[in-house]
Chains A and B, each alone.
Chain A
Amino acid sequence: MSMELRTSPHLVSDRSVERIMKHVVLALLPVCTFSVWQYGLSALALLIVVTTTCLATERFLNRAAKQASTLNDWSATITGLLLALTLPPAFPLWMGAVAGFVAIAIGKALFGGLGHNVFNPALIGRAFVQASFPVAITTWAPPFAVHRFSEFIPSTLTLPFMIPNDNAAWIAAATVDGFTGATPLARWKYEHFVYPVQDMLTGAASASSGETSAILLLLCGLYLAARKFMDWRIPVAVIGSAVLVAWAFRLYGGEAFPPIHLVVLSGGLVLGALFMATDMATSPVTPLGVWIYGAVIGVVTVMIRYFGGLTEGVMYAILLGNALTPLIDKYTQPRVFGTRQQRKS
């Protein structure tokens, strides 16, 4: 009988990277489905093109680095889906492909792959296209357009390096009432228009493909948190701190600042807090650090929106949080057992 020598522990749990990632993909599927239901063919094409580009880039770079394929850890799939969900539904497909390539190549592979990346890869991809294509990334399409399942939104099929096709005629034909093409945040910023809460909860407002239905996002997030595939403290800290700051401004600044529901339910705060800020590799590991990180993201998001040039701030707030993560971890090391100040009796 040949004997195996192993070191303890000899028991292992069933947790694994693939399992965690698979469940995140699973939790994102309802959000993707809803986005396709809202925006039709264009949203579906965007999800497919961006995710496929991410997977192809990952595989290509594996081969270039002479490594085994890392597609089966499902992390590139998550990056692709998340990235597509943060882009406007009418975003030209070729620009989506650029975003997907940058997300994996620069956001992830350049740092050494899964676990080594400093920033959330999907947000690196989005930041790149935001800087490169400022007009396309703020061109919105109306949800629930009549022809959404039979026709693409024109700008979707723009040829590479061409000026995006004009959507005006399509939008005019597709919508019943006048579509302004502005997001709730932009309409507040420039018109002081307050979107109704129910529209923002259920996805009737115009926005990026995946950020509109807060209820659905929360349900999917709840599933991940309940199965312990996500750290619930991060979204609670992000949204909680954003609410606190928005409430304080509203209290002391009055009508000059937007109502709280507009802050929480718009601009991808819920999507970002639940699915992007919680990216394990780029968020802190210490118990205290997690709360600080979440609070920084929430506060910075509101500050960018109120005082910055952009109408939205979640993306840069999370990227800043990612950049601070090593520092936060370093200064929030847990108190080691047995070092508590003994009470004098």
Chain B
Amino acid sequence: MRLPFFHRAATFEHGIHPVYHKETGSLPIKRLPFAPRLIVPLSQHIGKAAVCCVSVGEEVRRGQVIATADGFVSLPVHAPATGVVEAIGVMLAANGKMVDSITIRVYEADSQEVQVRAPLDIESLDKKELLAAIQQTGIAGLGGATFPAHVKLSVPPETVIDTLVVNGAECEPFLTCDHRIMVERTQDLLRGIRYAMKASGAPRAIIGVEDNKPDAIAAIQALLPADGTITVQALETKYPQGAEDTIIYALLGREIPAGSRPAAIGVLMNNVMTLAYLGRLLPAGEGMIERVLTVAGPGVEKPGNYIVPIGTPLRFLLEQVGARGSAKEIILGGPMMGMTISSLDVPVTKGTSGVLAFGAEKLEQEARRTYACIKCGECLSVCPKFLNPSQLGLLAAKREYAEMAELYNLDRCFECGCCSYVCPSHIPLVQQFRIAKAVNREKASA
């Protein structure tokens, strides 16, 4: 039980306090112009890729479906701009893979109004129709997980969801797009929460927001419904507060049983951005054609939050925000769990929550000497999953990957990066764990 006098904000055990660099949190969202060409991958979500339903040379209108969902665990893709289909074929994606994509040449003179929409009366829909309508919006988990929203909200009949947890923690340094969404699109967010409650059958929703965003908490509080079904709770500013395990523990005091989904303890979790887009797109009957993302880091001149059409090449995006020539490392997502990209010709997709640019100074700072583990134990005191990264690292160095999984719970690690962050010996622990997991997976499938 928590003592109210000592805990102002709810929180989890362990974790770290990096420098947050949330300077862009006070800047209003701005719209980015259209790139001359948009590259729209057919698979921007977890599940089966969409099936292309346009052909080369065909004119597409902004908002039009250009690829249809292939089954239940799949999402349609909408045209992010009015233009003409220039190519259909494999293109480089952010993860370094070649994926099927539709390239659209944007009509420069066009007003780029959303031309295809089918407004809905949500109240008249039953659960099944509501879920089908959500699938048609093409919304995937916008926090970066990209799990199709309608699949997440489809609760099996035997499962009872008692709480919808709305994740507004935004614990990753630099990222502030969720923050701006909560401040500027509060109505959309609350509408989206109500749709998600209806679709999942959850009787209440709790919005968890880190206490470094008091304006977001105030904005939400001012619009909360009087019946108390939706509440907002301040969370301690600590990384990784926004991870599934940690935020649910912080808000409800429940641990998701190891290896289970939150539904096992009656909880469903969605990101604020996902629900804000749901609240915006669903009643208008529009598709997911753009998203708000944070562009920041010392490598850009105009950091901020931008509305970016899906498919915008990163080169164009960085030109627009004044990328400095010295930018050497581009990270998609946050600095703790995001990934670097090898080419600027990859497009923004539904899961891109941030683009961070760093220069050479950061790389020099990281070119540090690695020591043997001195067993300081700091990694144990920061691991939010209570693992023993020190021991896992020693085993990884000896390539005893099976033992790591069997005796030291390697598979519970979700690669939050806290252990690597604090390691005074500068051991690349998370990377070692990724390799170990990959080897174990390969062995299991062989």
Contact = CB atoms under 8 A, between A and B. Distances in A.
Nearest to B328: A4
Interface stretch (A8-16, A80-88, A163-171): A8-16
Nearest to B429: A9
Contacts of B365: 12
B430 A8 contact: yes
A8 B424 CA distance: 17
A3 B357 CA distance: 11
B47 interface: no
B372 A4 contact: no
Given A8-B339, A115-B374, A338-B255, A16 B329 contact: no
Given A3-B342, A115-B373, A15 B378 contact: yes
A333 B388 contact: yes
Contacts of B201: none
B245 interface: yes
Nearest to B325: A1
Nearest to A4: B329
A9 B327 contact: no
A114 B258 CA distance: 35
Given A4-B328, A15-B422, A337-B412, A10 B378 contact: no
Contacts, number: 157
Give the bracket for the number of chain B residues in contact with chain A. Answer: 35 or more
A17 B425 contact: yes
Contact of A337 (B368, B385, B422): B385
Interface residues of A, number: 44
B395 to A, nearest CB: 12
B344 A114 contact: no
A111 B285 CA distance: 68
Interface string B227-263: 0000000000000000001000100000111111000
Interface in A143-161: none
Interface stretch (B25-33, B276-284, B330-338): B330-338
A333 B380 CA distance: 10
Contacts of B425: 17, 115
B319 to A, nearest CB: 12
Nearest to B343: A3
A285 B425 CA distance: 15
B344 A3 contact: yes
B421 A3 contact: no
- Majority SS at the chain A contact face: loop
B68 interface: no
B384 A12 contact: no
Given A11-B335, A115-B425, A336 B412 contact: yes
B377 interface: yes
A285 B424 contact: no
Contacts of B256: 338
A286 interface: yes
A16 B368 contact: yes
B372 A9 contact: no
Contact of A339 (B173, B258, B384, B421): B258
A2 B341 CA distance: 11
A287 interface: yes
Contact of B258 (A19, A115, A336): A336
A338 B257 contact: yes
A265 B386 CA distance: 37
Contacts of A3: 328-330, 340-344
Contact of A116 (B245, B257, B328, B372): B372
A284 B423 CA distance: 16
B340 A6 contact: yes
A19 B424 contact: yes
Nearest to B256: A338
Given A9-B337, A286-B380, 15 more contacts: A1-B327, A7-B428, A8-B339, A12-B421, A19-B424, A115-B374, A280-B377, A281-B375, A283-B375, A286-B377, A334-B380, A334-B387, A336-B385, A337-B386, A338-B258
6 shortest interchain CB distances as A-B pairs: A9-B417, A115-B372, A285-B377, A338-B258, A10-B335, A15-B424
9 contacts: A3-B343, A12-B426, A16-B368, A20-B376, A20-B424, A285-B375, A285-B391, A329-B391, A338-B257
Interface of A: 1-13, 15-17, 19-20, 73, 112-116, 231, 280-287, 290, 329, 333-340, 342
